[in-house]
Amino acid sequence: MACKPTLGFATRTEAVLALRAAGRTTRQIADQLGIEPKTVSALEVSAVRAIKRLRDPSALDGRLALLPADILSQMRRAASKRGMAPHELAVRIVRVVVTGDLIDAVLDDEVAG
């Protein structure tokens, strides 16, 4: 089955997980994605099973990054101002830091470049 890009995410599963992390209910996610609530649940269950099967989180190979709920919660206000979900803001921040070669400046942890 081919992946279905949704709301700027590579797959519907990533969109579902991001919206759930943003505090949306199953019904809200279903309505936003134009799918049935049971499909939302199935995508979540499938994702959780896949994550549990992984012994090494790095095996996700850039397809999914989970952020702690407290971090996403702290990002809600800034994300809302920009009309996006906290997960989308996190991706945008990381993209700007990485592509702008700003990791050392942001961390300021005295790691030799």
Return mean pLDDT, the chain.
83
Q: Dump pLDDT digits (tens) for 55-92.
A: 555 555 566 677 788 888 899 899 889 988 888 888 89
DSSP line for 81-98: HTTS-HHHHHHHHHHHHH
Residue 110: the pLDDT is 75
- d(Cα 71, Cα 38) in Å, to the nearest integer? 28
Q: How many Cα atoms within 13 Å fall on the side-chain side of residue 77?
A: 2
Q: Is the pLDDT of residue 12 over 70?
A: yes
Alpha helices in the chain (DSSP H): 12-21, 26-33, 37-53, 69-81, 86-99, 103-107
Contact 70, 79 (CB under 8 A): no
